[in-house]
Amino acid sequence: MRKSSRSEIGDRPSWFLFERSKSMSGSCLKFGIATALTILSASMASAQEAVNADEMAALCHGGGLSTCVSATIPAAGTQAVQGWMSPDVGAAWAAGYKGKGVTITIVDDFSSTSRFSGNFGVGVQTQRHGEWTREEASMIAPFATIRSKDFSTSSAVSLAPGLNVLNLSYGMYAKAGYRLNQIGWSPEEASIISYATKGTAVVSKAAGNDAVAVGGVTGGQQDYLDLALVGKASAIFVGALSTNGTTSNKAQLAWYSNYAGSNTLVQSHFLVVGVTGDKTGLYGTSFAAPIISGYAAIIGSKFTKATATQITNDLLNTARTDTLVNYSAAVYGKGEASLSRALAPVAIK
Amino acid sequence: MRGRSGNRVSFRTTALLLYGLLAASPAIAQEMTTSLVDIHQGSPLSDRARGLGDGGYELQNGSRVSFNQWYRASWVDMHVDLLTQITEDTGILWGFGTGEEGEKYRIEPSLKLGFLTQMHPSANSTFSLSLTATIGGNLTEKPCEANYGDLGTYSVNCRLAASEMAPEETLKYLVNAKPESQHLWLNYRVTF
């Protein structure tokens, strides 16, 4: 077994950031790691206790730690609404509730040597894929506790007390055609799938960047993590729009984004959000999923007793379709996530 | 003297009338006369309640909720102030407020009681003092019941139901206000 990531594919421009993928090979289809890593349930620190990015890298590599502590998130201190964010976010911050009491765990690449540049409105930075997705989620929900889980370790993802949100801006690709019951998941993905099944964590999964239906075949491969999450209570597939939609300026699916497809189980758990790469230099559904993770944290900070499934359903049930070009469930699933509506009552008297 | 404010209607003659009564012929003081001093509708708390009606938000389905529907009243709090003259230079000030009620607030009725007295430091000067106290008249905002679907039904502050604030937290921001409970009025007049 080997684990790899693909940040650039084919003739797509280098600035295009594909979701990180952990490729699988081998006949037994066990998602594991060829180079065994010691699995430690290292304690995780909150964003407020962050060390700098280089220190974090050392922690990830040194001693074979499977879990990286949270690292410097330059933007978090600014807590400014950025141009790439939906206007909903600014409104959501007005009362000062920004994800407090909720833990977002970013399962991603925090240890590779692959870095790329972008700008979330706080200056150009060059960092790893996981550092980008973590920064984005923390900018949406700046009071949430952010954990970082390096996906190369394959150890089970642990949950924190209170509401948990897992951000998955990666896929698990292997040759197409296997049945799900043929797959032997590593403890990492097995734990994630279990949480989504039981509804113990909101799982925000990047839909993918191959312009196919979720779980579809591309280049002879499929994202089996997508397939494994279909129909799970608290899983949300997140596609990318090219802009944030409004009723007067409707948005359309980004050209690269995977779409919901004809499976109604996918449609009912598929959301889209604006990924304005023209402003950040960052494209891909990798940067759609952290927005939903941040939204879930903000909603969780309002409804402090809500379960992950309830938060998931709230986001899904309040998505807007009137902000999208030629809305269709097969393309946009439930529609564009609306934080303001997710926070509002169904009825009041 | 209070002027018109919003939909408040004032018919007051206020302090000038008070002066007129007390400076009138001593013969008047021989009888227990009661005079209307002021009658008006509206108050600072009425205005405040009306102000709560500014704004609104969208429900989950996008339909607009305006606060105005909750913070308007068919009857605006009316205040009647009277003066019962006891002696040539003293009188009892008294009165009442009717209160008002909207769907999500209530201003309770109020009673006003006090006195007015005057002295004459010199032949051409008058020093007047009045002290009144008001009982009741509190403004109380009522909560709403908000249905958040799967997330449950909560008692909330109607105006903050769509905010990020936890539903139970919004109740801390319900308005509970008291009217001016005591009023001291001093005046010195010299005629030349």
Domain range annotation of chain A: 20-343
Chain B residue at shortest CA distance from A295: B164
Give the tokens for residue A181: 């019951």
For residue range B144-159, what is the model confidence (pLDDT) as tens digits?
Answer: 999 999 889 999 999 9
Tokens of B23: 């400076």
Give the dihedral sign, CA A195/A197/A203/A206: positive
User: How many residues belong to chain B?
Assistant: 192
Q: What is the mean pLDDT of residues A85-99?
A: 59
DSSP state of A177: T
Interface touch A346/B59, C-beta < 8 Å: yes
Provide the percentage of residues in chain A whose pLDDT is more than 70: 72
Q: Does A346 touch chain B (CB under 8 A)?
A: yes
Q: Is a pLDDT exceeding 50 seen at residue A36?
A: no
Residue B169, phi then psi, degrees to nearest 5: -70, -30
Bigger pLDDT: A98 vs B90: B90
Residue type, A232: K
Interface check for A342 against chain B (CB to CB < 8 A): the answer is yes
Q: Considering CB atoms only, which of A303, A304, A345 is closest to B60?
A: A345
Q: Cβ contacts of residue A283 below 8 Å, gap of 6+?
A: A15, A16, A17, A240, A254, A256, A275, A277
Per-residue pLDDT of B150-185, as tens digits, reads 889 999 999 988 887 889 888 999 999 998 888 898
Residues of chain B contacting residue A341, judged by C-beta atoms under 8 Å apart: 58-60, 62
For B13-37, what is each residue's pLDDT tens digit? Answer: 344 444 444 444 444 445 689 999 8
Q: A20-343: what fold?
A: Rossmann fold (3.40.50)
pLDDT level of residue A89 (50, 70, 90 thresholds): low
> Among residues of chain A, what percentage have pLDDT more than 90?
62
**Residue B160 Cα, gap to closest chain A Cα (Å):** 9
Residue A12: predicted pLDDT: 32
- Asked if residues B156 and A308 have their Cβ atoms less than 8 Å apart, the reply is no
Kindly give, in sequence order, each residue whose CB lies less than 8 Å from that of residue A128, ignoring residues fewer than 6 positions away.
A108, A109, A110, A111, A112, A114, A115
pLDDT at A24 over 50: no
Q: Please, which residues bridge with residue A270 across strands?
A: A237
pLDDT at A134: 95
Q: Does A320 touch chain B (CB under 8 A)?
A: yes
Residue among A316, A320, A346 with most chain B CBs within 10 A, to mutate: A346
Cβ–Cβ contact A57 with B under 8 A? no
Q: Where are the beta strands (DSSP E) in A44-159?
A: 67-68, 102-108, 116-118, 125-127, 145-150
Interchain CB distance below 8 Å, B58 and A344:
yes
Phi-psi region of B93 (alpha: psi -120 to 50; beta: other; left: phi over 0): beta
- Residues near A121 by Cβ (< 8 Å), separated by ≥ 6? A75, A80, A82, A83, A84, A279, A280
Residue A244, both tokens: 């944030």
pLDDT, one tens digit per residue, over A213-254 is: 999 999 999 999 999 999 999 999 999 999 999 999 999 999
Q: Is pLDDT at A283 greater than 90 in this prediction?
A: yes
To the query of whether residue A108 is one of the catalytic residues in this protein, the response is yes
Contacts for B95 with CB less than 8 Å, ≥ 6 apart: B37, B38, B79, B80, B81, B82, B111, B112
Question: Which chain B residue shows the shortest CA-CA distance from A340?
Answer: B162
Cα separation, B169 vs B187, in Å, equals 47
- Alpha-carbon span B44 to B27, nearest angstrom: 38
Q: HEC string of A252-283?
A: CECCCCCECCCCHHHHCCEEEEECCHHHHCCE
Q: Band the pLDDT of B110: cuts 50, 70, 90.
A: very high
Indicate whether B52 pLDDT > 50: yes
Catalytic residue among A70, A191, A286, A338: A286
Residue B3 has pLDDT above 70, yes or no: no
Taking residue B43's Cβ as centre, other Cβ atoms within 10 Å add up to 25
Q: What is the ipTM of this complex?
A: 0.72
Nearest by Cα to B116 from B190, B184, B181: B184
Q: Which of residues 92-121 of A touch B (CB under 8 A)?
A: 92-98
Six token digits for residue B85: 């003259």
Give, in degrees to the nearest 5, the angle at Cα A336 between A335 and A341.
Answer: 105
User: Is A61 labeled as catalytic in the residue annotation?
Assistant: no
With an 8 Å Cβ cutoff, are A314 and B167 in contact?
no
Q: Rounded mean pLDDT of A28-53?
A: 28
Rounded CA separation A220/A177 (Å):
9
Q: Of A310, A344, A349, which is closest to B162 when you measure between CB atoms?
A: A344
More confident residue, A72 or B66: B66
Please give the Cα distance from A268 to A234 (Å, whole number): 11
